[in-house]
Structure 1
Amino acid sequence: MKKSYSASHHHTYHCEQSGDQCICAVPLFQSLTAEQKDQIHSLIHHKHYSRGETIYRPGETADSLYVLRSGKIRIYRLSESGKEQLIRIVTPGEFSGELALFRKGFYEAFAEALTDCTICAIKHSDFRDLLMQYPTTAIEMLATIANRLGTSEQQTAWATTETVKERLWHFLVSSIDTDEREPIVELKMAKKDLASYLGTTSESLSRELAHLEKEQRMEEIAYGKFKLLDFT
């Protein structure tokens, strides 16, 4: 029998009262009414992970969508030779574990807590019912997945056709903060994670950053924060 998520009583969903940023701070749920958010709140299971703890790993049964409430998570894969490839960093308000929503199976990557994390988990069976009832949420999720696919394809193209310096430069240009008056990039990950994301080593990344600065194409104005000077 299909579950019904229509509210049986009327009241306003208050973030302040619930303290549940898993719903209030997530773009995925912003199109929903207060009553609909209240129903989602009842489906959430809160989980806490310590820094360095593995949240899921390849081969484990995938049964939940994970929404990050606080902290940072890194999603990565390991090659047969043991080389790590960072896929993305998950920040508060973002989600992970969504691909298994559409096909029952197993996780295909590692998820590790970069910091102490609070996660809101929603069982896939419950979330599929929500997507059926609330098409706008389904569209929001598909848009996010499409953006991730585009980023993944770009990452693959960089790794196979460009030098480390070219990968780094294109990454910096694509990461410019549009809220800034000047072309500023502030890394959302440690440099060692950026090296993994770009398919290189920390040493090579540091060397190419120094080369770009020497060529006056950019300057590091604070640790992990860069001002781009030359777009040619």
Structure 2
Amino acid sequence: MKEVLDFELMHKLARQYGLDQVLDESALTELRLLEADKGETICEKGERPERLYFLVQGKLKIFTTLPNGKSLLLRFSTPLALVGDLELVNGREANNTVQSVSRSLLLAISYRAIQNTYVENPKFLYFMLSQVTHKLHTFSNLSSLNMLYPVESRFASYLLSIIEQDAAASEEIQTSKLTELADLLGTSYRHLNRVIQDLCGRDIIRKVKRKIVIQSIEELREIAGGNIYE
């Protein structure tokens, strides 16, 4: 990630998301504005993070790696989302990998700058508690999604999660990436390909070269059952 030296924008984003109300003055002076490119890793499983990140623009994908080497999609995060909050408290290595889905902006502060003072800041502790509660609620819902819902619903949920709110088409999904996507959704490449062909046959999506275009977002939402990875 690269640092964005636009202090006016940094302070504007901090105020926009109320961080000026939960961080003390000394912590605010330590904030840095960082830019992550599409596909860039913010935090990798097994690493020991050194910063707490606040996602203020863009979208992040969170997944974990299973003992068999395959990856499993856990959720997508949109602003305002935290990365490294649990590791700040427990001091352990990261359990999941976090990647930027598109160009993203994050406010970051080093653990060193806040680890000795955050326990004395009740506003910050309440803020952290609300974020952790939201994560637990989301992960509980996604456990049901991965275990109980058919692949068609999971794939529909994935598409709804990766498209931009005002976009008509999803990001490119190349054939080589379908194997990775099948792993993320907890299914086989063959099964996922059958689902894609079926949705194309029903004119819900269509394949244009290496891109999947959504034809009927309402039908896609019905298939997802309102359960998206967010």
**Could you tell me the TM-score, scaled by structure 1's length?**
0.62
Residue 46, structure 1, aligned to residue 33, structure 2: yes
Give secondary structure in 2 for the equivalent of 1:227.
Answer: helix
Match of 1:26 among 17, 21, 25: 17
Q: Could you list the runs of 5+ residues in structure 2 that have no partner in the other structure? A: 1-5, 162-167, 207-211, 226-230
Match of 2:120 among 125, 132, 145: 132
The offset of 1:226, in angstroms, is: 1.4
d(CA) in 2 for partners of 1:24, 1:132? 21
The offset of 1:208, in angstroms, is: 3.5
| Greater length-normalized contact order (CA 8 Å, ≥ 6 residues apart) | 2
Residue 119, structure 1, aligned to residue 119, structure 2: no
Let me know the Cα RMSD of the aligned residues.
4.2
Residues 65 and 72 of structure 2 are in contact (CA less than 8 Å); yes or no, is this contact kept in structure 1?
yes
The one-letter code matched in structure 2 to 1:199 is G
Residue 62, structure 1, aligned to residue 62, structure 2: no
Residues 69 and 119 of structure 1 are in contact (CA less than 8 Å); yes or no, is this contact kept in structure 2?
yes
Deviations 1:159-195 (A, max 9, x none): 33443245557x59x98xxxxxxxxxx9998776875
**Could you tell me the TM-score, scaled by structure 2's length?**
0.63
How many residues of Structure 1 are paired with residues of Structure 2 in the alignment?
Answer: 201
Q: In the alignment, which residue of structure 1 is the partner of 2:164?
A: none
Cα gap change, 1:160 to 1:118, in 2 (>3 Å): closer
- What is the aligned-residue identity percentage? 19
Give the structure with higher Rg (CA). 1
The one-letter code matched in structure 1 to 2:109 is I
Q: In the alignment, which residue of structure 2 is the partner of 1:226?
A: 217
Q: In the alignment, which residue of structure 1 is the partner of 2:165?
A: none
The offset of 1:23, in angstroms, is: 1.2
Q: In the alignment, which residue of structure 2 is the partner of 1:154?
A: 141
The one-letter code matched in structure 2 to 1:41 is L
The offset of 1:206, in angstroms, is: 5.8
The offset of 1:108, in angstroms, is: 1.9
